[in-house]
Amino acid sequence: GVRGGMTDTDEDDGSSTSSLDVPSDVPGLEGVRYLHNLFPEEFLEELDEIRDGLISSSASSNMYANRRFLRSNELARKVLSYLPKELGYTHVLSDMRFIEYPPGGHILPHVDGVRRDQETSSGAESTTSFLLFTEEIPEGEGGETEFLESVDDDAKVLFGARPNRGSILLFPHGVAHRGNCVGCWPKVLLRGDLY
């Protein structure tokens, strides 16, 4: 590409796909993967149904969003079964939550914590976060999950992933990120941990 990558591109020259493809040459994005078309529509509809049946809770200091918590080994195993084996993941933790951002919803810059569950053998800890998006947000409508150089408010954005129904974002817990302010399109995802 162009040295420094400082070229301005127009919206309509195909650059819209960039929000669905993690750049491979950006330091700080190692281990960040955004994978598409792994989950069949019938599974996504099952997720929608599960979410509808869960109680919503909004109390959290760093986010403006609703969360619905669930614990399901069965669902965890299903998510894992759709991931490519060559990624090397062997366990999705049973504790997951749906996160729903209303208009204006966002999450401030943060890193994710390590988690364990009853199943984690010999105290194994999670290494990786996943966001499985169940709603589509059109390009330019906000709501991207942005990966940052650090958790500072003015940190440089390394990549912004646009929510795409059925796509899954996987990243090491220690990578700083935030949920960009959502416009009029809802941002809904299943959030979990794996190793």
User: Which one, of 94, 131, 99, 134, lies nearest residue 115 by Cα?
Assistant: 94
Which one-letter amino acid corresponds to residue 145?
T
Q: Is residue 7 included in any domain, yes or no?
A: no
Kindly tell me the sign of the dihedral angle through the C-alpha atoms of 138, 139, 143, 147: positive
Q: Is residue 117 included in any domain, yes or no?
A: yes
CA–CA separation, 189 and 129 (whole Å): 12
CATH number at residue 157: 2.60.120.620
Residue 148 has pLDDT above 50, yes or no: yes
- pTM to 2 decimals? 0.89
Domain that holds residue 58: 18-194
Q: DSSP for 61-100?
A: TTEESEEEEEE-HHHHHHHHHHS-GGG----B-SEEEEEE
Is residue 141 within 8 Å of residue 114, measured between CB atoms? Answer: no
Q: What is the pLDDT of residues 118-137, one digit of tens each?
A: 776 677 899 999 999 999 99
CA–CA separation, 158 and 163 (whole Å): 16
Number of domains in the chain: 1
Q: Is residue 4 included in any domain, yes or no?
A: no
Q: Is residue 177 included in any domain, yes or no?
A: yes
Q: Is residue 99 included in any domain, yes or no?
A: yes
Q: Is residue 8 included in any domain, yes or no?
A: no
Q: What is the pLDDT of residues 150-179, one digit of tens each?
A: 999 899 999 999 999 999 999 999 999 999
Q: Is residue 144 included in any domain, yes or no?
A: yes
